[in-house]
Structure formats: structure tokens, C-alpha cells
Amino acid sequence: MSVALPLVVIALSVVLLMKLRWRRQLLAPVFVIAILVAVWQLAVTFVMSETNPTPGQTFSALASIFTSDQLWKHSAASLFRVTWGFVLATALAVPLGLFVGWNTRGFEALNPIIQAMRPISPIAWIPFAILWFGIGDRAGIFLILYASFFPITVGTMAAVRNISRVHQRSAENFGLSGLELFRRVVLPAALPQIITSLRIALGVAWLVIVAAEMVGMDSGLGYLINDARNMGRRYDLVAATMILIGLIGVVLDFLVRKLEGFDEVKWGYVNR
Amino acid sequence: MTSWVTEHTETTLSFDERKFTDFATVKEALIAQRVDAVFMLAPMAMQLRADGVPVKVVYLGHRDGTALVVDKHAAIEDFGDLRDKRIAIPNRFANQAILMRRMMRDWEMAPDSIQLLEVPPPEHPAALESGSIDGFIVGEPFAALAELNGTGRVLYQTKDIWPNFISCVLVVREEWIDEEPQAVQELVTGIARSGMWLESGLEQRMEAAEIAAENFYYQPKELLEYVLSKPPDRVKYSELGPRRDDFEEIMELALEFGILSRRIEFEEYVDDRFVPDADQAGWDLEHLPGTRHGAVL
């Protein structure tokens, strides 16, 4: 492809972006994407590399994934693992975060360990994951669980510790204590921040899919990337799968954001 | 070894070696021209050439040195007993994967009668220990490791089922051949001489294990000694020139099993001009002062 077409696309997109009225703001990302793709094309043309895939090659690889049965198979496999890892992480991390956030002694005892384990990449855990869970789904789910566990724990912990003194004291004045206080004040007040941490954690869970699918899998989008890397020179396939992972990530994020709209969640925002 | 040897002999060049932990990265480093020469899985090198990347196979690093290992306590006596079992392979594009398919064909088993799972080589012993696979086929030292750990037992050495098995090949950038053929020759000759030295006796192999353990691989010396001596022909360092028959057999099988995207001629991906000189090089121990007498680096 020549240099002219990408340049025209860039110029046109910039002009249209500047002229957009507020009603058409939804179109803005489309123009930004057009600019990025054009820059990508120019960059590949400029470096004259046959190894870097062009947008055209990447989109045709993407099309080939879409038209074969691979799209469903690999996306479903990855979503299956991420769902399990994320759900298990939530089930473990929210109670832990609530406890550690509420109980000062618990916080002092556990926080250093949590902070020390948090930065360890799931990739480093691969040998142990295999040793404990074998190869296949369970090891992958463990790695996703590990990665998403800490954002939820830390987020929940911070949420509880951030509850305003006013809320807490007035609840106590109304005679609430123990579980009742927890259920009617602490949890609702902390919920928005917990939801935010879930959102971050789901992003992380999806982020580690490529690492999680290095442990003897034969399906999944992460596997597809690892496999394409091993194939001669199929970086178009690598890039196409990256785009697919990004698109599904957007959908996942959209779904979790829906949670923030529930009434039960909303009242926690009042004091902001 | 070659890197160590060039640093300690009167050759004009020295080679810096770098260890990678997976083949995709090796390949990418080569494509990106960050390295001039790599050891790479043979079928992967063919596919790279088939995709138009200007590289050539110029030599081998070793022959054999791969073993099919099974759970020590499993009732597996021969290849037929592997039916319906889960066996780890290092890579879908490895010659080990081709070997498994070749064996299945020879034993008249259906291509899916053994479940082959891609697992990174360093994880093979752990996967066997965890019980999630029944065996694995991989290059050393991981087969020896499972043996020494007490978890695995060698069912076959490649020398028993595909003699002179080729796992990894020395691949160099064509540009490097054109620009510095002398350097390529020195590298190839260096590898040939290292091989000759290793083949000159058990004593030399033990010294090599020590040098490699100390300087390069961060693997225990005992493990490398085991790999190089139990039995002594577990890994071979002779006949390292790429031979047409060997490669065409691999190519045909790779094509048949869908690992290679197109037929590719021997001349397209092999450049064996460096072999005659390398094979003629003698191994003069005097040029390696001290090693025989146990001197340190």
C-alpha cells in the first residue's frame, strides 16, 4: 500500500475530529482508531520490514479466526478459565478484605504478607501451579485466581478502612453492632469501592490469560498467541489475537460497570 | 562449550552465548537480527525459511539426547502401552512431536491414540510428578532430571527408536554468511572441535560437565555428568554435518503431519559449505591449556 492513502486517512480523521459536534462524540473513537491504523500502516511501510504485520494482514488473520470455528472455541475456553479464576478470587478475597479492613490486628498481621505477595507475577508461579494442579485448566485457573485475588483484597480492605467515622459512629449510636453493623453500614458503604476493585481485578484476570495459557493448554486466546509465536512468521495472527483479547476486554469491562448502576451500590457514593 | 573454548584458545574470534528459555523468543531474536546464530528446533527452522526469513541451517549441535520418559511406577513396557495416555511434548513444532507421530504410524496406531500436550520443557518433570501426564518426550537434561528425581523412567532413548535423532540445529542469518563467512566457519569449527573433544573419552565428558555447570547452564554438575555418561552415547557429538536424508525425512513427516506449511528443498534451508573444514579440524588438546590437568578458569 502506498503512503498516500494512510496520510489522507490521517488528515481526514483529524479534520473530522475537530469539527465534531457534541452529539457526534460517539464517533470520536472511530476516527482515533482510523488514525492509529493509518500510523501503523505508515510505520510498517517506513521500516520496510516484512516481519511486522500490516493492518491489512492482521485484519485478514482476524477474519480467518472469525470465519473458522476457532473464534468460539478459543474465546469460550479463555472466558471459562477467567470466569472461574475471577469468581473464586472474589469468593476468597472479598471476605478476607472485609475482615482485614475491619480488624486492626488482622490488618497489622496480614497486610505486610499481602503486600509482599501482590507484586509476584503469576508467570513465576507457573512451576508450582503445574506441581499442584497439573497441566491444563486447573493450573490456568489458579494463575488467574492469584492475579485477580490481590486487587480485590487490597481494594476491599481500603474500602472498609475508608468508611467515614461519621457513618460508623452514628450507626453505633443507633445501637448497631456486630454483624448488623457490618451488614447495614459497613458493607453498603464499602460496596462502590469493592465494585471498582472487582472491575480492576477482572481486567487483571483477562490480562494474565496469555501467561495462564502457557501451562499445557491446547485452547484459548492466550494459547493462540503462544502457538502463533512458534509458527514460522505468523505475527499477523499474534496481532489479530491481541485485538480480539482487547475487544473482549472492553465487553467484560462494560458488563462490570453495569454493576455500579444498582441501587444497592449507589448509596455509598453519597458522601463523595 | 564453544564459547568457553574460544575464550581460552588462540582463535581470532570469541562468541558470546546467551541462553533463552523458550523457542519463540529464540526465533524472534533471530528475526529481529539481535543474534546471528541460534540453536533451534529443526522443523521450526524449516518453517521459518518457508515463510521467507533469510536463514540457513549450517550445522547440528548434537544428535540424540532426547528420551521418552514415563512414570516410574506405571505399567508401561513398550510404545503400545502408551495408547490413551497423556504425553507431554516440548512444542508442537518440535522434532519430538514428529517422532511421536512417526512411532504411532509405525505401531499402526491412530494419530489421536496418544494425547500429546505442549508443555515447556523445564516443566516436564514437574508435570510428571504432579501426575497430570503419564510421560514426556524432551531433550536433556530434563529426562535425566526426572530419572534422578525418582519420578521417571526412560522407556526409550532416541538412539533406540530413531537413531541419530536431530532435535536442534544451528541456524544462522544468511546475511552473516555473506558478510562474514570466516566467522561462521569459526563458529562451526568450534562446535565441531568441542564435539570431538567430548567424544574423545569419558574423562573429557566429565570435565565438560564441570565447565558447563560452572559457567553456563546453572545446572547441577551431577545432572550434567549423568546426561553425558549414562549411557555414554545418550547424547552424541559426532556426525554433526546436516545430511540430506535426515532432513528430507523430517521435512516430509513435518509436511504430512501439518507442521510445515509447504514443501521446501534441502538447498533452500541448508548451507553445508562449512562442514568439510569443520570435520577436518583436529582436536589438539595442547590448545586447551590446563583443562586436562584440572586447572581452573
Q: What is the pLDDT of residues A68-98, one digit of tens each?
A: 888 999 999 999 999 999 999 999 999 999 9
Q: Domain count of chain A?
A: 2
Same domain for A177 and A239? yes
Q: Supply the Cα-derived Rg of chain B in whole angstroms.
A: 19
- Which of A172-176, B183-187, B207-211 is modeled with the greatest confidence? B183-187
Q: Does A61 fall in a domain?
A: no
What CATH number does residue A170 fall under? 1.10.3720.10
Same domain for A258 and A175? yes
Same domain for A262 and A188? yes
Q: Name all domains of chain B by residue range, CATH numbers in brackets.
A: 2-63+165-281 (3.40.190.10), 66-161 (3.40.190.10)
Q: Does A170 fall in a domain?
A: yes
Q: Does A60 fall in a domain?
A: no
Same domain for A139 and A23? no
Q: How far is B36 from chain A (nearest CA, A)?
A: 17
Q: Residue A268 burial (CB < 10 Å; 0-12/13-18/19+)?
A: buried
pLDDT value, residue B297: 29
| Distance between CA atoms of residues A70 and A30, nearest Å | 27
A contacts of B91 (beta carbons < 8 Å): 230
Chain B residues interacting with chain A (CB cutoff of 8 angstroms) = 23-24, 27-28, 31-32, 44, 47-48, 50-53, 88, 91-93, 117-120, 122-123, 126-127, 129-133, 261
pLDDT value, residue B12: 57
Identify the residue among B28, B93, B115, B119 best suited for mutation to test binding to A, counting A beta carbons within 10 A and taking the highest.
B119
What domain range includes position A41?
A: 4-49
Mean pLDDT of B168-191: 92
Mean pLDDT of B55-80: 93
Output the pTM of the full model: 0.81
Same domain for A118 and A253? yes
Same domain for A94 and A37? no
Same domain for A122 and A20? no
Assess contact for A153 and A114: CB atoms under 8 A.
yes
Q: What is the pLDDT of residues A221-259, one digit of tens each?
A: 999 998 898 888 889 999 999 999 999 999 999 988 887
Q: Does A113 fall in a domain?
A: yes
Mean pLDDT of B39-45: 92
pLDDT above 90: residue B170: yes
pLDDT above 80: residue B17: no
Same domain for A101 and A40? no
Angle CA B98–B102–B106, to nearest 5? 170
pLDDT value, residue B22: 79
pLDDT value, residue B292: 34
Same domain for A133 and A21? no
Q: Does A39 fall in a domain?
A: yes
Mean pLDDT of B206-231: 83
Low-confidence ranges of chain A (pLDDT < 50): 270-272
Average predicted confidence (pLDDT) for chain B: 86
Q: Residue A94 burial (CB < 10 Å; 0-12/13-18/19+)?
A: buried
Of B36, B4, B5, B37, the C-alpha closest to B216 is: B4
Q: What is the pLDDT of residues B276-286, one digit of tens each?
A: 888 887 766 55
Q: Does A62 fall in a domain?
A: no
Please tell me if residue A56 touches chain B, with a CB cutoff of 8 Å. no
Please tell me if residue A214 touches chain B, with a CB cutoff of 8 Å. yes
| Angle formed by the axes of helices B23-31 and B42-50, nearest 10° | 40
Residue of B58 and A230 predicted with greater confidence: B58
Same domain for A126 and A229? yes
Same domain for A98 and A155? yes
Question: Across the interface, do A216 and B126 touch by the CB < 8 Å criterion?
Answer: no
Mean pLDDT of B173-197: 91
Enumerate long-range contacts of B119-122, CB under 8 Å, 24 or more apart. Answer: B119/A130, B119/A135, B119/A215, B119/A216, B119/B88, B119/B89, B119/B90, B120/A214, B120/B21, B120/B22, B120/B90, B121/B90, B122/A127, B122/B21
Residue of B268 and B294 predicted with greater confidence: B268
Same domain for A188 and A143? yes
